[in-house]
Structure 1
């Protein structure tokens, strides 16, 4: 855990304290920019496929992206919302510590950042425009996975993080509002289509309000991994027959 960010990681967020790290905390790492190299990311996917032998290729890429976005988005968003930290998380600034199976274990940032202006905007530009966006484009292009599926993974994790932070009195209302705008606006600040718009919704069902993704992450196509439950927009018929009524689920990976 980065010492200056320690106040972020209590309660729900304690299990994400090691998602960000400083140089020297991990014995080896891959440069973030190397994830945009065809051979590097292919080798990682081959390693990851050994964790889920026989798994659907699209689902493997989707699940790998969820691991990566969980390590990246949750602690970075917590640092922005709780501490007003501007972290250098651009893909070409960071390194990636890996688990044995090729999944992201931590995002290694060059330093612990600086304070954001008290009334700053574009707090999340480094995170989404300069890390998530380039990585989504490369994964989609190399592996033929839908960009919308990958952005849905990112939006799901980001929306969950904002949801959890919103119940904490330490959260900055302006940062929370800016985050919600990223999820609810049809276009970004430059007038381009917003890739996260509408990808997580709250819908009425059987007298309840349920949280649901718009695009399935395909994780149920991996051996040993069940469907996400109520958050899945298209739960497999087999799951429905075994599990009964769809219930609300909040998932972070």
Structure 2
């Protein structure tokens, strides 16, 4: 593990022992249609990579060092676009594999920001996996688990990144909503809407369960092409089209210049 700059040795997680995982998460997805979830939720520290507590992403110095590594790929580019692109990797890991395990396998995962470690590529700073400090458990309320993930992880991390990087919280919530909407609809398409019952409400209702404004409400919209075909479109552009070598989002982008 690398120990330079703001990063410490993995002993920084001494108070966060890694999980003794009773469930083989990668084995559950196997080589099936959700095989891309493998290797994203770990129960032990990997041999390579930078490891940092997800809570420490709220520390500006640590976050800036990670983003500084990632930014080397895009010299001179808009830092807001760089930060947004980095969070696209982060939030894809936070939503896709967890949603598959919650809604397909009825597994509750210990993904609160204080119980999770982030593994980044040593050279690029790109998010690669999470390491859990707790044991996965059985759940009968996957939608409740997803709501807990939004409140216990996405919300504090988004608040910190927005404050530290000058990126609008609504842009970051749209990054979360884009991946969450995609994976829930993918599960519904393959296995029926009953499997994600309650999950899509966390995107489509104006209030969180129990009260409070839903920051993802209205972030994913249904648009229609001239031929009549429907497609999804973000409310807020992720800015990725400003980065050299990165393709736009096509029709999903709300800005014409981002659709290339």
When the two structures are superposed, what TM-score results if normalisation uses the length of structure 2?
0.84
Q: How far apart are 1:53 and its partner, in Å?
A: 1.4
Q: Distance in 2 between matches of 1:121 and 1:3?
A: 22
- Give a deviation string over 1:190-249, Cα, whole Å, max 9, x none: 32110010111122221211111111100011111121111001121xx66xx6xxxxxx
Match of 1:192 in 2: 212
Match of 2:244 in 1: 223
Cα 1:172–1:209 shift into 2, 3 Å: closer
Match of 1:249 in 2: none
Cα 1:9–1:217 shift into 2, 3 Å: farther
Unaligned runs of 5+ in 2: 1-20
| Equivalence map 1:57-206=2 (5 Å) | 57-99=79-121, 100-117=123-140, 122-169=144-191, 173=194, 176-206=196-226
Match of 1:247 in 2: none
In angstroms, what is the RMSD of aligned CA positions? Answer: 2.0
Cα 1:227–1:197 shift into 2, 3 Å: same
Cα 1:60–1:81 shift into 2, 3 Å: same
Q: How far apart are 1:10 and its partner, in Å?
A: 4.3
Unaligned runs of 5+ in 1: 244-253
The number of residue pairs the alignment matches comes to 236
